[in-house]
Amino acid sequence: MAVAIQIKNLKKKFGDHWVSNGVNLDIPEGQMTAIIGRSGEGKSVLLKQIIGLIQPTSGHVIIEGTDIARLSETELNKVFSKVGYVFQFAALLDSLNVFENIGITLLESGMSAQKVLPIVKEKLALVHLTEDNLYKYPSELSGGMRKRVGLARTLVTNPKIILYDEPTTGLDPITAHIIHELMYDMQQQLKVTSVVISHDVEIFKYADNVALLYEGKIEYFGNAKTIWESDNPYIYQFIRGLTEGPIKSDLTYFKDRY
Amino acid sequence: MNVATVTYILDYIGITFLAACTRVGFFTMFLVHAIQILFTTKLKINKLFAQMNRIGVESFNIVVLTGGFTGMVFALQSYIGFQRVGGEQFIGAVVALGMIRELGPVLTGLMITGRAGSAITAEIGTMRITEQIDALRTLRINTFQYLIVPRILASTIIVPCMTAFAMLFGVIGGYIICVHVLQLSPEDYRSSIQNYVELSDIRGGLIKSSVFGLILAWIGTYKGYYTRGGARGVGIATTQSVVLSSTLILITNYFLTKMLEQL
């Protein structure tokens, strides 16, 4: 299986704390890889290092033979044309309506609104949103709709890789299910490589691979479909939500301390 | 004082000095980058006009009120002084020169800083903490071309226009007080302005206000762009933006006055 993203000994330090402490991971092309881990483990920081929004302290992120860890702003634009990023809370621009948000890349490149409109409509249909929403502002949309608009906006650039930062956070189980289905559809239809940061065990139904991030390193990488049979102690503890095991829980910390 | 204490103090001074130099460097490079983007990319004209409207036109009422009432107070205060030496006929020139050379540009700069400079920081700061700026980057949009350049350029252009109104309404305010309250001759007021106010005074005032416009938008966008730490961070950045802009406007005013005097 070809590798879409190669992460080699990636390290990132904030103050005295190593958020990424030697991450090594090969993300297979055309598949969905879920990165799981406890809150505050640096999953979002890892994702932002993959796309170049955060520069690592050391290490390499190789996409199609280019090490993006040390690229200039202009060179990063080439990366952004291949890699799309769906933000945790969608990060839609408040002052723009749905049409302008989705079509912003094309509109800002000088394309006329008339030419952009059919493209935006097509992407809106892909994320199962009706055209009634085109001229609504982000404040008029529900959380799930915003995330779908965020995904549609990413799709406009026709990326080969889509990075999802906790796409179902803050959503009810039904809407979360819809978002998962949507991500899976994108995966199947567009044959893109997807990397999903998630806390939701539901993601295992849709992902091909799972990577567990713990203390700044990948402690486990394996098939998502067989994850419940895994005897890896980290995975075993994490997916079952156990407090006892190699992953230090707040409770263990509390017990150790007092 | 032992060697360790001296070393500690020197260390502290050195670190503080280097940190200050770094901050000034970042701040300067921010403007240099904005100027570079202005000349190397296509200017977003619609965004420029939108910002001119938000920074300038929407501040019109507050600028006119400030200018008008300052001119009125200035006329009253001048009257008290000039009456003692019998120089009431010079009040028009004093009010006009004061408004055109100093009070118009400085007060307009300060008022627009409070109204629009703070809004610039809060808006861009909110965009930063809600990842909208990161989103723009991933969508291959030059954030300086999209957010920074239109604001800085708009402010540099529109603040002198607003200052012209502050000057005008200041002079009118002075006239109202002199003629209708203090019962002085309207002819004296007009002629003293004609005799003592020169075109270079107006030019100097407008140059100053243009620099103040640049300062308030430069600091506003810089503080917003580098906002950290959620809603509290936006609050802190906004406060810092207003305080720093106001202080810098007052300091720059002295040096600009000195410089323009020599031209």
Can you tell me the mean pLDDT for A194-211?
90
Can you tell me the mean pLDDT for A130-150?
93
Q: Name the average pLDDT for chain A.
A: 89
Could you give the dihedral angle defined by the CA atoms of residues B209, B212, B218 and B221, in that order, rounded to the nearest 10 degrees?
-90
Q: What is the ipTM of this complex?
A: 0.88
User: Could you read off the pLDDT of B199-238 as tens digits, one per residue?
Assistant: 999 999 999 999 999 999 999 999 999 999 889 999 999 9
Band the pLDDT of A250: cuts 50, 70, 90. Answer: low
Residue B198, chain A, CB below 8 Å: the answer is no
Residue A167 has pLDDT above 80, yes or no: yes
Blockwise average pLDDT, block size 10, chain B, 263 residues = 89 94 94 95 94 96 96 94 88 95 96 96 96 94 95 97 97 95 92 93 96 97 95 96 97 94 79
Whether B6 and B108 share a structural domain = no
- Number of structural domains chain B divides into: 2
Whether A98 and A162 share a structural domain = yes
Whether A235 and A194 share a structural domain = no
In whole angstroms, give the CA distance from residue B110 to residue B102: 12
SS3 string, A186-209, reads HHHHHCCEEEEECCCHHHHHCCCE
Question: Does this model's pTM top 0.80?
Answer: yes
CA B38 to chain centre: 21
Cβ pair B135:A108 closer than 8 A: no
Residue A254 has pLDDT above 90, yes or no: no
DSSP state of A14: E
Whether A57 and A19 share a structural domain = yes
Whether B138 and B118 share a structural domain = yes
Residue B35 distance to chain A (closest CA, Å):
17
Whether B9 and B64 share a structural domain = no
DSSP states of chain B:
--HHHHHHHHHHHHHHHHHHHHHHHHHHHHHHHHHHHHHHS---HHHHHHHHHHHTGGGHHHHHHHHHHHHHHHHHHHHHHHHHHT-GGGHHHHHHHIIIIIIHHHHHHHHHIIIIIHHHHHHHHHHHHTTHHHHHHHTT--HIIIIIHHHHHHHHHHHHHHHHHHHHHHHHHHHHIIIIIS---HHHHHHHHHHH--HHHHHHHHHHHHHHHHHHHHHHHHHHHT--SHHHHHHHHHHHHHHHHHHHHHHHHHHHHHHHHT-
Whether B13 and B112 share a structural domain = no
Whether B146 and B105 share a structural domain = yes
Residue A133 has pLDDT above 50, yes or no: yes
Domain that holds residue B13: 1-40
Whether B34 and B55 share a structural domain = no
Whether A172 and A142 share a structural domain = yes
Whether B20 and B79 share a structural domain = no
Whether A151 and A252 share a structural domain = no
Whether B108 and B19 share a structural domain = no
Whether A143 and A213 share a structural domain = yes
Whether A13 and A133 share a structural domain = yes
Cβ pair A85:B135 closer than 8 A: yes
Q: Are B230 and B252 in contact (CB under 8 A)?
A: no
Percent with pLDDT over 90 in chain A: 57
Whether B133 and B173 share a structural domain = yes
| A84, A91, A154 member nearest B131 (Cβ) | A91
Band the pLDDT of A140: cuts 50, 70, 90. Answer: very high
Whether A148 and A45 share a structural domain = yes
Cβ pair A105:B131 closer than 8 A: no
Residue A251 has pLDDT above 60, yes or no: no
Whether A45 and A109 share a structural domain = yes
Instruction: Show residues of chain A in contact with B29, CB under 8 Å.
Output: none
Cβ pair A92:B140 closer than 8 A: no
Q: Are A221 and A25 in contact (CB under 8 A)?
A: yes
Domain that holds residue A157: 3-225
What does the radius of gyration of chain B's CA atoms come to, in whole angstroms? 22
Residue A257 has pLDDT above 50, yes or no: no
Whether A187 and A255 share a structural domain = no
Whether A149 and A248 share a structural domain = no
* Residue type, position A74, single letter: T
- Number of structural domains chain A divides into: 2
Can you tell me the mean pLDDT for A111-130?
93
Band the pLDDT of A168: cuts 50, 70, 90. Answer: confident
Whether B62 and B10 share a structural domain = no
DSSP states of B185-214:
-HHHHHHHHHHH--HHHHHHHHHHHHHHHH
In whole angstroms, give the CA distance from residue B82 to residue A43: 72
The Cα-based distances of B9 to A244, B5, B16, B20 in angstroms read 49, 6, 11, 16
Whether B55 and B157 share a structural domain = yes
Whether B78 and B145 share a structural domain = yes
